[in-house]
Every structure is written in structure tokens, then in C-alpha cells.
């Protein structure tokens, strides 16, 4: 399966390659199969809607499947830099894979636009930029909302993987500043058949609110498990759960849940003053037209933002060098770091030399599940 | 931890254990009859639950098209092998027709029934039927021509079948999970315990299935034939028991058990296209406890796995799977010290 997808992608890529060397080549590695395929597939959908030209130059896009496997991600990234001589690497959408790919980006001096909030030690992320909001930004939004609601104690139920771990760190730090305490921390895996044991411990601690850290349709089961044990307090979900799959799978039980998300999830409800509203609406309408109404989601939004960012950075880089050269790649990195505030569908980015996260602290939007739909708080 | 928490955990462990028990039984059944370590057992679980979920939305599940494709492949394989043996086109077509007829009928019924939105029970039966039909076809396509290969070769084939089935699951059901409506929306309070209708159905079904399996192997001629094949393949063949049909029957039963397990867990958790693998592996651990040979042993092992899992996730939820799968090491050590003989030949 994986291999077949790769073969097809390679065949398609080799058809277009060779002739037009001056084109801008973008190598994209996404989890199209495996546990994170729910994140990679919407991105691939949006990539199919990308413009043909960026900054007046034709773009050549190569999409490979990394199967949510860091080894494959690194293999894809190596192929991109050695064989395809790409100007930009995009991906992955799975955190462990994105982290592994960052090494190749650093070594080959190629810009990586990761579609996942990868945590890297200082210096390691010199060539890696994140498209999604950092967990710190999102945790900040949740903590502010909790403060307004008078929440003092929180129970944490999250994935056992890097996503859960990073959220735990971000939330603990953000909560401490506002005097919000984690009273119970439990873990689970997406494929688990029940969270009864974890729910027992969490409800016994009886916190004011529960924070569930999970993604997509996997986010409903843990919440239902906690409710089943008689918990009546508030629920918070993270931005990976901000898809319509949460109310679809959770039904009535997830009504009233607060979900933190980027602005793309319910752009029509954003105030007109929000700078991202126009782009987010554009994304929602185009994605909806192509793949069905209301099918827009976080990760499609990240894929939408990639050309938006490049549209601004590429002309700056083109002034210094030609695509396909190391000079161009270095110029592109400089452009991304110096181009200043850039409005994207997911918020306002401001990458600098020292900060490759970029989003301002007020980017996170809290939405509430009302009648199976998201309503901005 | 007090008695209340312990009893709730115990109940949770037993409910999950009941499902693992079914999968453990299926694993033992397939291994004894065909010497295949059937890793894709869990895939039938996901297929069962997701087929029902798609039927619930009034659409034709993708499993139907997969079933048709596999039936065509299996039928042509059957026709070719018959042609090689007899050089008789009529016989070749006849045997191909035999393979095709059931899956085609089933597909036609499903295509007709899907938009009618029948009650949940009818759709559940239909889902189980579709998935059960996969069993013999999987055996025909992947294993039958390798019948006499070593268990190691069969294991490698199993890994391949597992990857193929997971990938096809992603293709047909998509990456997002589904949760089915409960068959019995009921809640009984028993002291501190509250037992859901779904848990009761799980227990009842598992118990009924185990009793039925026991009766089948003890009383029915077909069941005895399967047992004979399990004890000695060559001997059974000399007695006129076809090892092909024994294998296909064993796989059909394994698929049925898998589909039923899927229907049982569907309402209590979100099932993804790849959820079955871990559930199936836990059934496999249960089967290993029983040395891949004893049904009661597999059942006890499964309940044990369920309980360890429940208590493990209470004490150290981050290490739950680690605890469950590490358990297999001391068990293997204990078994090899106790048995002393090689399990290579059965």
C-alpha cells in the first residue's frame, strides 16, 4: 500500500521533472496512511487546490506518504534534498515524523515548513518553521478562558505520544502563571477500548474542568468515558480535536465542550476586525466546494497557509538567487525570518531569526460545541 | 484503592476480557487447524464495526466491493487450479461458480438493503454476514496454496495480509473513526457498580459463542472433522476430510468471531480502520497464554489480560500497553520451562 502510493507519486513526479529546472520545487511528506492519516489526508486535499504559480514562478509539487513513520519521513526528506533538489520541504503533519525530518532540513540547509508544532532544542530548528500554532499559544487561550470561568483545578487525560507530552508541558506552565493546578494526570492511546480506569482516578480528584488531549474522532471516546463515571464539570479539548468529527462521534455528550482552535474552524463567526477572517473564509469556501460543505478543518488550513507564506517570501528570495540553488534556499530562509508580520488563515505569523513559532499569543480561539456545531465564545 | 474502585476495574477488565477471549479462541482455532498465526484477526473486528457504521449512514459499505473483488480473484484461482488437475473446462467453471455465488448474492442483498435503513439488528446481522464471507476468501487467496509451508512462512504471509487489510480498510472507511449506537440502552445499578446494557450483551454473546463452539466441536460432524485436521492433517485427509475445506471453515469461523467482536465493542469505543490490530494482538497474547492449543486456556488468558489492562491503566496509564505486552515474556518463559518440547509440529 505504502509502497504503491510512493511509486505512483514518484512516477507522477518524474513525468513533470527534468525539463523546467528554474521552477520552484516543493517536497511534501505527509502521513497519508497510518495513525495520523486523519491529519495528512485533508492536507493533501488542500494541496490539490494550490495555485500553479507562486511569486510568478511555476511550482512543482511532490507529495510522498510517510505512513506516520519517522524512518519514512527521513527517507522522504533525504530523497527531496538529494534527488529532487527541492527548495522547500513541507511536512510532516505527525509530530514525531516532523521532528525527525528537521535533522535533514538542518543538515542540507533546506527550509522545512512543518505542519505540526514540533518541539526542538535551540539551534536544531534553524531551518525549521512551524505552520501550526505552538501548544503554548493554544494553552494560553485555554488558560485565559478557564480563568474567566473560574476554573481552579484541572484533570488531564491525554495521548501517550509526543502530542500529549507537549501539551502537558505547555499547559502546566501556562496554568501555573494563573494559579490553575493540574490535580490528576492520566494517559491513554487512540486505539484503547476503554478509559474506565483513568476516568475513575480523574473523577476521584474531582477537578473543576477536564482537559482532553486527543485528535479528531479519537477525542470523543475519553470524554464519554469520563462522563460515564458521573463527572458533571466542564470539558476542554485541544486544536487537534477541532473537527466536526468530535460532535459526530460524541453526539449529545460533547455538547457544551470548549475547544481551542485556529481561526479557520468557524471563520464566518469571527469579528470583521480579525485580520485572518478574509483568508479563513476563502479557505473554508474553496475547501467546502471541493470536498463537501463543512468539511474544512485545521490541517487543511495549514496546507492553505503554505502558499500564502511562500507568496510573500519567494519574491524576496528571487531577488537574490535562482530556484534550485543553495543560495536560493538560504535567501528563502532569510526572507521568512525578515518579512515581518504575515497574515495567514490561521492567525498572524511573525517569524524572526530567534523565533520560528511566530504566532502571537492571542491567536487561539475558543469555540463551544452547540447543537453539533462550533460557536465562537 | 478501595473495594468500590477495585470492583469497577474488575468489571471493566472482564468486559474487555470477554472480547479478547473471543479473539483468542479464534486465534487458537485457526492455528490448530491450519498452523497459521492469524495476525489479521483484529482486522475483522474493525471491518465488522465499520461496516455497520457505514450501513447506519444508509450508504453501501466499501467492504462489499472488496468482497466482490476478492471473490473474483478466489474464483479464478479455483478455476485455474481445477483446470490444471482435470483439463475439464466445465468442472473449472463449476468450481469457480461455487466460490462466487455466495459473495455475489450477499453483495446484491447489501446494495439493495443499504438505502432502506433497516433496524440496527438487521444491519448488524448483514455486517456480520459480509465479514464472515471474507474468511474463506482470505484463506483461498493467501494461504491455500501454501498449506504445507512451515509455520514461519505462514506467519510472514499473515503479516502481509495484515498490512493489505489495514490499507484497504483506510481506503474504504477513511481515516476517521466511528461509534455505533448501543444495541440495548440500559443501565443497571448494582451497589457501586453500574452495568451497561452493552456490557451485558458482551458477556452474554461471549458466553453463548463459547458454548456454541464447544457443542460444535463435541457434537457436530463438521466440528469433529476440524478437530481431526487439527490433530493430524495427513491422517484426516486419509479419512476423507478435505484440508482445503477445513481451512476455509476455520477461517470463516474466525471471521465471524471477529465481526461479532467488532459489533460488541463498536458501541463502547470509537473504532478506526486500524483499531483492530491492537485488540487482535491482545487476543493473541491470550492465545499464547494457552500455548495456542487450548480453548479454555485462551479464555482464562483473555480475562487475565483484560484485568491486567484495567488495573495497569489505573496505576500507570502511560505504560498500559507496555505492561500488557511485557506479560508475554514471563509467560513464554514459564511455558518453555514447563513444556520442554518444540511447538513446531502439531
Query: Cβ B317–A188 below 8 Å, yes or no?
Result: yes
Q: What is the pLDDT of residue A233?
A: 93
Among all residues of chain A, which has the CA nearest to that of B318? A187
Size of interface A-B (CB pairs under 8 A): 97
Task: Tell me the residue range of the domain where B109 lies.
Answer: 23-175+191-274
Among all residues of chain B, which has the CA nearest to that of A200? B5
What gap in Å lies between CA B289 and CA B331, rounded to an integer? 6
Q: What is the pLDDT of residue B345?
A: 47
What gap in Å lies between CA B70 and CA B51, rounded to an integer? 17
B96: distance to nearest CA of chain A, Å? 28
Q: How confident is the model at residue A34 (pLDDT cuts 50, 70, 90)?
A: confident
What gap in Å lies between CA A88 and CA A24, rounded to an integer? 8
- With b for 16 or more beta-carbon neighbours within 10 A and e for fewer, the B163-179 pattern comes to bbbbbbbbebbbbbbbb
What gap in Å lies between CA A326 and CA A324, rounded to an integer? 7
Whether A370 has a pLDDT exceeding 60, the answer reads yes
Assess if residue B305 is contained within a domain.
no
Whether B25 has a pLDDT exceeding 60, the answer reads yes
Query: Domain count of chain B?
Result: 1
- Which stretches of chain B sit within 8 Å of chain A by CB? 5, 8-9, 12, 15-16, 19, 163-164, 166-168, 170, 174-179, 265, 268-270, 272, 274-275, 277-279, 310-314, 317-318, 320-321
Query: Cβ A200–B274 below 8 Å, yes or no?
Result: no
Q: Residue B295 in 3-state DSSP?
A: helix
Assess if residue B312 is contained within a domain.
no
Cβ neighbours of residue B31 closer than 8 Å, sequence gap 6 or more: B37, B38, B287, B292, B293
Give the E-state strand segments of chain B in sequence order: 187-190, 193-196
Q: How confident is the model at residue B293 (pLDDT cuts 50, 70, 90)?
A: confident
Measured from the Cβ of residue B88, the count of other Cβ atoms closer than 10 Å reads: 11
Q: What is the pLDDT of residue B259?
A: 95
> Which residues of chain B does A34 touch, with a Cβ-Cβ cutoff of 8 Å?
274
Q: What is the pLDDT of residue A326?
A: 92
Whether A16 has a pLDDT exceeding 50, the answer reads no
Task: Give mean pLDDT, residues A345-358.
Answer: 90
DSSP type of residue A359: B
Query: Cβ B317–A197 below 8 Å, yes or no?
Result: yes
Task: Give mean pLDDT, residues A4-31.
Answer: 65
ipTM exceeds 0.95, yes or no: no
Q: What is the pLDDT of residue B20?
A: 94
Residue with cell 509502497: A3
Burial class (CB in 10 A: 0-12, 13-18, 19+), A9: middle
Whether A91 has a pLDDT exceeding 70, the answer reads yes
Whether B255 has a pLDDT exceeding 60, the answer reads yes
Q: Tell me which residue in B8, B176, B321 faces A216 most closely, judged by beta carbons.
A: B176
Among all residues of chain B, which has the CA nearest to that of A229? B194
Among all residues of chain A, which has the CA nearest to that of B314? A197
Q: Residues A235-260: pLDDT tens digits?
A: 999 988 888 888 888 888 899 999 99
A14: distance to nearest CA of chain B, Å? 25
> Which residues of chain A does B166 touch, with a Cβ-Cβ cutoff of 8 Å?
1
Q: What is the pLDDT of residue B342?
A: 53
Whether A82 has a pLDDT exceeding 80, the answer reads yes
Q: What is the pLDDT of residue A230?
A: 87
Query: Cβ A221–B317 below 8 Å, yes or no?
Result: no
- In chain A, the percentage of residues whose pLDDT exceeds 70 is 94
What gap in Å lies between CA A337 and CA A129, rounded to an integer? 9
φ, ψ for residue A178, nearest 5 deg: -105, 10
Q: What is the pLDDT of residue A363?
A: 86
Q: What is the mean pLDDT of chain A?
A: 89
Q: What is the pLDDT of residue B198?
A: 86
Stretch among A6-20, A333-347, B57-71, B292-306 having the lowest mean pLDDT = A6-20
Task: Give mean pLDDT, residues A289-317.
Answer: 92
Q: What is the 3-state secondary structure (H, E, C) of chain B?
A: CCHHHHHHHHHHHHHHHHHHHHHHHHHHHHHHHHCCCCCCHHHHHHHHHHHHHHHHCCCCCHHHHHHHHHHHHHHHHHHHHHHHHHCCHHHHHHHHHHHHHHHHHHHHHHHHHHHHCCCHHHHHHHHHHHHHHHHHHHHHHHHHHHCCCCHHHHHHHHHHHHHHHHHHHHHHHCCCCECCCCCCCCEEEECCEEEEHHHHHHHHHHHHHHHHHHHHHHHCHHHHHHHHHHHCHHHHHHCCCCHHHHHHHHHHHHHHHHHHHHHHHCCCCCECCCHHHHHHHHHHHHHHHCCCCCHHHHHHHHHHHHHHHHHHHHHCHHHHHHHHHHCHHHHHHHHHHHHCCCCCCC
Assess if residue B86 is contained within a domain.
yes
> Which residues of chain B does A218 touch, with a Cβ-Cβ cutoff of 8 Å?
177, 270, 272
Assess if residue B308 is contained within a domain.
no
Q: Tell me which residue in B170, B178, B317 faces A33 most closely, judged by beta carbons.
A: B170
Assess if residue B298 is contained within a domain.
no
Q: Residues B31-72: pLDDT tens digits?
A: 999 999 999 999 999 999 999 999 999 999 999 999 999 999
Q: What is the mean pLDDT of chain B?
A: 90
Q: What is the pLDDT of residue A18?
A: 41
> Which residues of chain B does A200 touch, with a Cβ-Cβ cutoff of 8 Å?
5, 8-9, 314
Assess if residue B160 is contained within a domain.
yes
Among all residues of chain A, which has the CA nearest to that of B313? A197
Whether A20 has a pLDDT exceeding 60, the answer reads no
Q: Residues B146-178: pLDDT tens digits?
A: 988 899 999 999 999 999 999 999 999 988 889
Task: Give mean pLDDT, residues A99-119.
Answer: 93
Assess if residue B206 is contained within a domain.
yes
Over its C-alpha atoms, chain B yields an Rg (Å, rounded) of 20
Residue with cell 509467560: B331
Residue with cell 432502506: B116
What gap in Å lies between CA A368 and CA B294, rounded to an integer? 52
Within a 13 Å sphere around the CA of A261, how many CA atoms are in the beta-carbon half?
A: 32
φ, ψ for residue B198, nearest 5 deg: -65, -40
Q: Residues B167-211: pLDDT tens digits?
A: 999 999 988 889 898 888 888 887 777 788 888 999 999 899 888
Look at chain A and count its residues: 377
Task: Give mean pLDDT, residues A368-376.
Answer: 90
Contact B269, A193 (CB under 8 A): yes
Assess if residue B333 is contained within a domain.
no
- Which stretches of chain A sit within 8 Å of chain B by CB? 1-2, 33-35, 37-38, 41, 160, 186-198, 200-201, 204, 216-218, 220-221, 245, 249-250
pTM metric for this prediction: 0.83
Q: What is the pLDDT of residue A10?
A: 54
Contact A112, A128 (CB under 8 A): yes
Query: Cβ B177–A191 below 8 Å, yes or no?
Result: no
Q: Residue A33 in 3-state DSSP?
A: coil
Amino acid at each position: 500500500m505504502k509502497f504503491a502510493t510512493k511509486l505512483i507519486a514518484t512516477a507522477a513526479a518524474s513525468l513533470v521533472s527534468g525539463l523546467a529546472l528554474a521552477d520552484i520545487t516543493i517536497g511534501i511528506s505527509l502521513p497519508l496512511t497510518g495513525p495520523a492519516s486523519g491529519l495528512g489526508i485533508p492536507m493533501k486535499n488542500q494541496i490539490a487546490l494550490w495555485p500553479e504559480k507562486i511569486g510568478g514562478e511555476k511550482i512543482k509539487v511532490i507529495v510522498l506518504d510517510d505512513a506516520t513513520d519517522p524512518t519514512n519521513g527521513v527517507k522522504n526528506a533525504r530523497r527531496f534534498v538529494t534527488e529532487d533538489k527541492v527548495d522547500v520541504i513541507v511536512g510532516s503533519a505527525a509530530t514525531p515524523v516532523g521532528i525527525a525530518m528537521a535533522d535533514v532540513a538542518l543538515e542540507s540547509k533546506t527550509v522545512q515548513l512543518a505542519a505540526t508544532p514540533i518541539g526542538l532544542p535551540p539551534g536544531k530548528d534553524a531551518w525549521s518553521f512551524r505552520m501550526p500554532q505552538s501548544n503554548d499559544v493554544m494553552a494560553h487561550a485555554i488558560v485565559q478562558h478557564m480563568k474567566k470561568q473560574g476554573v481552579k483545578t484541572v484533570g488531564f487525560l491525554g495521548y501517550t505520544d509526543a502530542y500529549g507530552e507537549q501539551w502537558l508541558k505547555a499547559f502546566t506552565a501556562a496554568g501555573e502563571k494563573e494559579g490553575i493546578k493540574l490535580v490528576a494526570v492520566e494517559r491513554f492511546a487512540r486505539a484503547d477500548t476503554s478509559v474506565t480506569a483513568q476516568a475513575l482516578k480523574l473523577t476521584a480528584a474531582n477537578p473543576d474542568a477536564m482537559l482532553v488531549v486527543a485528535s479528531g474522532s479519537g477525542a470523543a471516546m475519553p470524554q464519554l468515558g469520563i462522563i460515564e463515571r458521573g463527572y458533571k464539570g466542564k470539558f476542554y479539548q485541544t486544536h487537534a480535536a477541532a473537527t466536526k468529527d468530535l460532535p459526530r462521534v460524541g453526539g449529545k455528550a460533547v455538547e457544551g465542550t470548549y475547544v481551542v482552535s485556529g481561526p479557520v474552524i468557524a471563520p464566518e463567526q469571527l469579528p470583521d476586525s480579525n485580520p485572518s477572517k478574509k483568508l479563513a473564509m476563502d479557505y473554508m469556501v474553496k475547501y467546502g466546494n471541493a470536498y463537501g460543505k463543512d468539511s474544512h478543518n485545521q490541517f487543511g488550513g495549514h496546507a492553505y497557509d503554505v502558499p500564502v507564506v511562500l507568496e510573500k517570501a519567494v519574491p524576496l528570495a528571487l531577488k537574490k538567487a535562482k530556484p534550485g540553488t543553495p543560495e536560493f534556499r538560504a535567501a528563502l530562509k532569510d526572507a521568512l525570518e525578515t518579512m515581518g508580520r504575515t497574515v495567514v488563515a490561521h492567525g498572524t505569523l511573525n517569524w524572526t531569526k530567534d523565533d520560528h513559532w511566530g504566532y502571537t499569543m492571542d491567536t487561539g480561539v475558543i469555540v463551544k460545541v452547540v447543537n453539533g456545531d462550533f460557536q465562537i465564545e | 484503592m478501595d473495594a468500590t474502585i477495585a470492583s469497577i476495574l474488575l468489571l471493566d477488565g472482564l468486559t474487555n476480557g470477554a472480547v479478547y477471549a473471543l479473539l483468542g479462541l479464534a486465534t487458537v482455532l485457526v492455528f490448530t487447524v491450519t498452523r497459521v498465526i492469524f495476525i489479521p484477526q483484529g482486522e475483522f473486528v474493525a471491518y465488522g464495526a465499520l461496516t455497520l457504521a457505514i450501513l447506519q449512514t444508509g450508504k453501501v459499505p466499501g467492504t462489499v466491493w472488496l468482497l466482490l473483488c476478492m471473490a473474483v480473484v478466489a474464483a479464478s484461482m479455483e478455476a485455474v487450479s481445477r483446470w490444471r488437475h482435470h483439463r475439464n473446462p466445465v468442472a473449472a467453471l463449476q468450481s469457480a461458480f461455487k466460490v462466487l455465488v455466495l459473495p455475489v448474492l450477499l453483495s446484491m442483498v447489501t446494495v439493495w438493503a443499504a438505502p432502506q435503513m433497516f433496524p440496527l439488528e438487521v444491519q448488524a446481522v448483514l455486517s456480520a454476514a459480509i465479514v464472515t464471507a471474507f474468511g474463506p476468501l482470505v484463506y483461498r487467496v493467501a494461504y491455500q496454496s501454501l498449506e504445507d509451508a512451515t509455520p514461519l512462512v505462514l506467519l510472514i504471509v499473515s503479516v502481509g495480509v495484515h498490512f493489505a487489510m489495514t490499507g484497504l480498510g483506510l481506503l474504504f472507511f477513511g481515516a476517521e473513526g466511528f461509534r455505533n449506537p448501543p444495541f440495548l440502552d440500559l443501565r443497571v445499578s448494582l451497589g457501586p457498580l453500574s452495568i451497561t446494557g452493552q456490557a451485558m450483551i458482551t458477556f452474554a454473546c461471549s458466553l453463548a459463542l463459547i458454548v456454541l463452539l464447544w457443542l460444535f466441536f463435541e457434537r457436530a460432524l463438521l466440528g469433529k472433522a476440524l478437530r481431526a485436521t487439527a490433530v493430524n492433517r495427513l491422517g484426516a485427509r486419509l479419512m476423507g476430510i478435505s484440508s482445503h475445506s477445513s481451512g476455509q471453515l476455520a477461517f470463516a469461523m474466525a471471521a465471524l468471531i471477529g465481526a461479532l467482536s467488532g459489533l460488541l465493542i463498536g458501541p463502547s469505543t470509537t473504532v478506526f480502520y486500524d483499531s483492530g490490530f491492537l485488540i487482535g494482538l491482545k487476543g493473541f497474547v491470550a492465545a499464547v497464554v494457552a500455548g495456542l492449543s487450548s480453548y479454555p486456556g485462551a479464555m482464562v488468558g483473555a480475562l487475565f489480560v483484560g484485568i491486567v489492562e484495567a488495573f495497569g491503566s489505573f496505576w500507570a496509564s502511560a505504560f498500559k500497553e507496555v505492561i500488557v505486552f511485557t506479560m508475554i515474556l514471563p509467560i513464554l518463559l514459564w511455558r518453555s520451562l514447563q513444556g520442554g518440547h518444540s511447538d513446531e509440529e502439531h
